[in-house]
Amino acid sequence: MLTTNSTELIRLRYKARELKKTKKPVLNAFSGNLRTRKRGHGIEFHEARPYTYGDDVRNIDWRITARKTTVHTREFQQDHEQNQFLLIDQSLPMRFATTHKLKSVQAAHLAALIGWSSIESKNRIGAMIEGPQSHFLKQTLNAKKFCYWLGKLALSTEQLVNNTRPQPADWQASINRCLQLMSTGTHLIIIGDLIYLQENHIDLLMHASRHHQISGIHIYDKFEENLPPLNHTSFTDGENIFKFNGINKAQRRQYTKKIDKLTNRFKKFGGQILTCATDNEPQEMITTLTT
């Protein structure tokens, strides 16, 4: 599959609803809509108790205070949202696959499924496309606005295929832009070929983890994971020809080492890296996620 369309991405809302109804701990890593026992300023009344020094005077319950002749204050159940922001890679490395669908299409399907799951769970979703044109969506619960952005995402898969000179991702600029658009405590989910993340990009994410939760979904092709010998093989990008006389075992292991190193770096600041092959079904992959 070379491209996707907005209708296909919008229909994934039904898949998100099905996942929400399952008894498995679905989308634990990306879900919100949770209620915590921590007291706060939510809208649901919890209890009235005697006033103690330091309580907000705006929460004094004057009716109970008048009835009991001692000052009482109200406590509320704090609602805990897990808002999300998606950064979707639609750059040069995403125009690749040997089976099923291009990385760019897989990333689009995952983004749509996660976004719809967020909206179904009453959590705000924001998003940005890193590609030929960077379209962003401010965090919202509005399904129509998300549908409009999905149309831009579908268009980006077409532009990537038709672009004769697609560019690599500018991760530094994209991550900075996302952080500007995100509210404090947002879960940033980066979906793409994360093998190209450099140390300075990870350092930026580590700094952002002080105020946000960070996750990544690495899209890969199984050909990359298990390279064949490629003895006397030639490749072309349409303009240049590249010849391979052979790939040894050490070179094949470099890919796995890179992913392991990336995973460990994310773990150090409380983040996580998940992997998804181009022939995986997005909903099946997401049901296995854990916090």
Rg for the chain, CA atoms, rounded: 23
Tokens 């949202």 — which residue?
81
Residues of the chain within CATH 3.40.50.410 domain(s) are 6-30+81-286
Query: Which superfamily does CATH assign the domain made up of 6-30+81-286 to?
Result: von Willebrand factor, type A domain (3.40.50.410)
Per-residue pLDDT tens, the chain, 291 aa: give them.
Answer: 889 999 999 999 998 888 776 644 444 445 444 343 333 344 556 678 888 766 777 888 888 888 888 888 887 654 456 799 999 999 989 999 888 899 999 999 999 999 999 998 889 999 999 987 788 999 999 999 999 999 999 999 999 988 877 778 899 999 999 999 998 889 999 999 999 999 999 999 999 998 999 999 999 998 877 776 666 677 776 677 877 666 666 766 788 888 999 999 999 998 999 999 999 888 776 665 433
List, as one string, the DSSP characters of 187-232: EEEEEE-GGG--HHHHHHHHHHTTTSEEEEEEEE-HHHHS----TT
d(CA 90, CA 22): 31
Exposed (0-12), middle (13-18) or buried (19+): which is 200, by Cβ within 10 Å? exposed
Helices (H) and strands (E) in the chain, counts: 9, 11
Q: Please list, residue by residue across 123-153, b when 16 or more beta carbons sit within 10 angstroms of its beta carbon and e when fewer do.
A: bbbbbbbbbbeebbbbbbeeeeebbebbbbb
